[in-house]
Amino acid sequence: MTSGDAAEPGDVPRPAFGDDIESVLIDGPQIQARLRELAAQITDDYAGERLLLVGVLKGAFMVMADLARYLELPVEVDFMAVSSYGSSTKTSGVVRILKDLERDIAGRHILVVEDIVDSGLTLKYLLRNLAARGPKSLEVLALLAKPSSARPELRVRYQGFEVPDVFVVGYGLDYAERYRNLDCIATLAPAVYSS
């Protein structure tokens, strides 16, 4: 890119990641197009209402930033940071709240924004926790979901894409805290896990 060219989300320099990326499952423009569609749906669904977006850190920071800009609603945003115990590629279901919401959500319309529903255990915990605070409504947007997470009680109202049951990184998702700033969803070369 020469100076003066407009930057596109797809311009993240993947060569910076060397040979670590094995394949791109969903590219940047596909993500942006799907988020625009979901934002249009949410804009219709919450017309005239006050909506609070609750982003689940760290993974959801990219989705939150892009989704919020596509919504044609005067939303408020807040964040929770949670961490699940487990290995770097599998969660255990035991969730710890590292940062809680700043405000009371009783009587508010809440949309939880997640990057991925993998086993579904984090979301299950979060929904139970947030429902106990008495919101007026509680819905979920997840950019990605795995087939194994398809459980009715998880109620993902707005889903971006289904991804196969493989470990994915990018667009907020990490492996050992890396690759979150990729603009796409990708798989890693096996060598990354053994280094």
Report the catalytic residues. Answer: 118
Q: Does 58 bind ligand PRP (CB under 6 A)?
A: yes
Site for ligand PRP in 130-169 (CB under 6 A): 149
User: How many residues interact with ligand PRP (rule CB under 6 A)?
Assistant: 19
Q: Does 187 bind ligand PRP (CB under 6 A)?
A: no
Q: How far is the CB of 122 from ligand PRP (least distance, A)?
A: 3
In DSSP notation, 36-52 reads HHHHHHHHHHTTTS-EE
Nearer to ligand PRP by Cβ, of 43 and 125: the residue is 125
Burial class of 124 by CB neighbour count within 10 A (0 to 12, 13 to 18, 19+): middle
Could you say which of 84, 129, 137, 181 contacts ligand PRP (CB under 6 A)? 84
Q: Does 121 bind ligand PRP (CB under 6 A)?
A: yes
Buried b / exposed e along 10-39 (16+ C-beta atoms within 10 A): eebebeebeebbeebbbbbebbeebbeebb
Distance CA 13, CA 47 (A): 38
Could you say which of 17, 112, 114, 170 contacts ligand PRP (CB under 6 A)? 114
Q: Does 119 bind ligand PRP (CB under 6 A)?
A: yes
Q: How far is the CB of 125 from ligand PRP (least distance, A)?
A: 8
Distance CA 83, CA 42 (A): 27
Q: How far is the CB of 47 from ligand PRP (least distance, A)?
A: 29
Site for ligand PRP in 6-35 (CB under 6 A): none
74, 42 in Cβ contact below 8 A?
no
Nearest by Cα to 28 from 54, 53, 62: 62
Could you say which of 22, 45, 66, 174 contacts ligand PRP (CB under 6 A)? 174
Nearer to ligand PRP by Cβ, of 40 and 81: the residue is 81
Neighbours of 88 (CB within 10 A): 10
> Which residues sit at the interface with ligand PRP, rule CB under 6 A?
56-59, 83-84, 91, 114-123, 149, 174
